[in-house]
Structure 1
Amino acid sequence: MTTVKLVRGDITEQRVDAIVNAANSSLLGGGGVDGAIHRRGGPEILAECRALRASTYGKGLRTGRAVATTAGRLDARWVIHTVGPVHSRSEDRSGLLASCYRESLRVADELGARTVAFPAVSAGIYGWPLDDAARIAVGTVRDTGTAVAEVRFVLFDEQAYEAFAAQVG
């Protein structure tokens, strides 16, 4: 059974097997969590992302999918990059958001990761309402069969922490 924990803080400071990156489809870094992970992890992460773009993911990583690279200088073995959907009021994209968590856990299982730190995927610049993002994230992790022993949701501010705490119970 997977233990779900909440941490208020900086995901780049977590000591885990794998840190999940809320990446953009280019895999080449960006703002928010993505930029922080690339800055703190160093050039090794970007180098592996460029190699993935040059081989398997020439057009970028599709929304809802996940792929792993080294964690560079982070206190983790791997970074699992997943591309969250941009929130839409006219189209239900919740299945894509759930897929980010399922696919990240699938990749974690393939790697043999036992501890995984997740951000609130799509709840930042992609505009997903926090309460709904938390409901989908926690529900999906609880409903997904995985060998991961601990999933840690690392929330940057008190508002995100409270939204996730309401779902964890």
Structure 2
Amino acid sequence: MQVTPSNVHIEAVKGGITQQADVQAIVNAANAELTTGGGVAGAIHHAAGTELYKECQQFAPIRPGEAVITSGYKLPNEYVIHCLGPVYERRKNYEELLEKCYINALQLAEEKNIKSIAFPAISTGVFGYPMEAAAEVAVKTILKQIPQLKHVEKIKFVLFTQADLEIYQNKLEELQ
């Protein structure tokens, strides 16, 4: 599934975030300490190598909604943008915090002149955000940010399962 509003190409694909060699930056659904964890964070740290962990330590801890950028090391991507998503329903403003993840990641991409970026489904794993609700926040936020983008030309949502991919594809069709 692909859409192209305002010359920014958006797509949703099934796959692993660490295998997205066609993008300059990938986004890590990070934990506050920016350490190896399960899911996306574990896969990214494992693929990038120990240098990523070492660079992350200068930025930790981060708060929900915040994003920081590091090198990609052994990944096929130049950069990793680490975002701490909210734990679903732990705070009253969890939707706003999830929006901030996408906004802050895109802002960092713009600051580094990054042309392409891939996002996982932030906060949907152990943080418990329902996939449908997370997809709506992600797609709405990205579409709202597109008019401000000067460098980013490609945004990719990378989903682990076919069911998750279909949810994102439906949201892209519905909201574009």
TM superposition score normalised by structure 2: 0.89
1:109-144 CA deviation, whole Å, 9 max, x = no partner?
111110000000001111101111000001101101
1:5 correspondence with 2:6:
no
Show the 5 A alignment for 1:115-130: 115-130=116-131
2:50 to 43, 50, 54: 43
Cα distance in 2 for partners of 1:83, 1:29 equals: 13
Instruction: Write the distance in 1 (CA, Å) between the matches of 2:81 and 2:38.
Output: 17
Secondary structure in 2 aligned to 1:72?
A: coil
SS at match of 1:63: coil
**Counterpart residue identity of residue 17, structure 1:** Q
Would the aligned equivalents of 2:59 and 2:68 in 1 still touch at CA under 8 Å?
no
User: 1:1-169, aligned counterparts within 5 Å?
Assistant: 1=6, 2-15=8-21, 16-53=23-60, 60-88=61-89, 91-144=92-145, 145-146=148-149, 147-169=151-173
Output the CA distance in 1 between the equivalents of 2:92 and 2:59.
30
How far apart, CA to CA, are the structure 2 residues paired with 1:29 and 1:64? 19
In the alignment, residue 5 of structure 1 is paired with which amino acid? E
The one-letter amino acid paired with 1:97 is L
- What CA distance in whole angstroms lies between the structure 2 residues aligned with 1:76 and 1:123? 23
Specify every segment of 5 or more residues in structure 2 that has no aligned partner in the other structure, as ranges.
1-5
Residues 41 and 141 (structure 1), Cα distance of their counterparts in 2 relative to 1, 3 Å cut: same
Q: Distance in 1 between matches of 2:74 and 2:12?
A: 23
TM-score (norm 1): 0.93
How many percent identity over aligned positions?
Answer: 40
Q: Distance in 1 between matches of 2:159 and 2:78?
A: 21
**Count of paired positions:** 163
SS at match of 1:102: helix
Which runs of 5 or more structure 1 residues have no equivalent in the other structure? 54-59
1:91 CA displacement: 2.5
Q: Runs of 4 or more off by more than 2 Å in structure 1?
A: 89-92
